Structure 1
Amino acid sequence: MGASFKDLVVWQRAVQLCSEIYRLTASFPGSEQFGLTYQMRRASVSIASNIAEGYGRSTRGEYRQFLGNARGSNCESQTQLIIANSLGFGAKSAHELTEKLSADVSRMLIH
């Protein structure tokens, strides 16, 4: 492993995903501020945060546990992206980018 969790490509991609989800949800209706917008932002922050927290743990088992948490939060984000898209919230291009980033993170967390 690198010297820091910041060296992990999966963490970097998760931060990028989170940033894009913040941009995407900024265009959602105000009525969703405490609904889907909040949920999507919280889940996306959790992905990168769990990767970083796991990296900082003492054992490989703890690290794996937090990577599992990150996978779960990523699945949560993917579900919320599908719901937002089906409701017509956000631009198609923004959805495509966030879905691609989420798929990339998913592949990296599995391998």
Structure 2
Amino acid sequence: MHKINDLLIWKKSIELAKSVYLLVAELPSEEKFGLKSQIKRSAVSIPSNIAEGAGRNSNKEFKHFMSIANGSSYELQTQLILLDELNLKNKNKIQPVIDLCIEIQKMNYSFQKKL
């Protein structure tokens, strides 16, 4: 078992989720149950799966949950790109969040190799 508070990737993914919530708060209300909801679920899934994996009994199980978290990060990245493509948000506001998402993807890949 790993302590999530000691995991930089978990801390960064919490930061990402907070950034996403702030970003989508300004989306049109008609997106409440569409893209907005899906983006928030993807963002929360990343630190949640890291935490669940950290609480498992083996590194093999942890690696499995890190893989799920990585999939959610790619899902989130795609949804953020859609915000830009649909002109729902200014690219200048979206890009830093995408950059953090990519940083977490790289950290995840590296962390899984160490497990």
* TM bucket normalised to smaller: over 0.9
1:20, 1:94 within 8 Å by CA — same for their partners in 2? no
- Length-normalised TM-score, structure 2: 0.91
Gaps of 5+ in 2: 111-115
Other structure's SS at 1:57 match: coil
- Give 1:57 shift: 0.2
The residue aligned with 2:78 is: 79
Identity within the alignment, % = 37
The Cα RMSD (Å) is 1.2
The residue aligned with 1:4 is: 3
What pairs up with 1:15-26 in 2 under 5 angstroms? 15-26=14-25
The residue aligned with 1:95 is: 94
- Give 1:85 shift: 0.9
- Give 1:92 shift: 2.5
- Give 1:33 shift: 0.2
* One-letter amino acid of the counterpart of residue 34, structure 1: F
- Length-normalised TM-score, structure 1: 0.94
User: Residue deviations 1:55-107, cap 9 Å, x none?
Assistant: 00001110000000000000100010011111112232320110111011000
The residue aligned with 1:67 is: 66
1:24, 1:91 within 8 Å by CA — same for their partners in 2? no
Tell me how far apart the structure 1 counterparts of residues 22 and 53 of structure 2 sit (CA, whole Å). 26
The residue aligned with 2:113 is: none
Tell me how far apart the structure 1 counterparts of residues 47 and 54 of structure 2 sit (CA, whole Å). 11
The answer as to 2:48 corresponding to 1:49 is yes
Q: Which is worse superposed, 90-99 or 8-17?
A: 90-99
Other structure's SS at 1:42 match: helix
Gaps of 5+ in 1: none
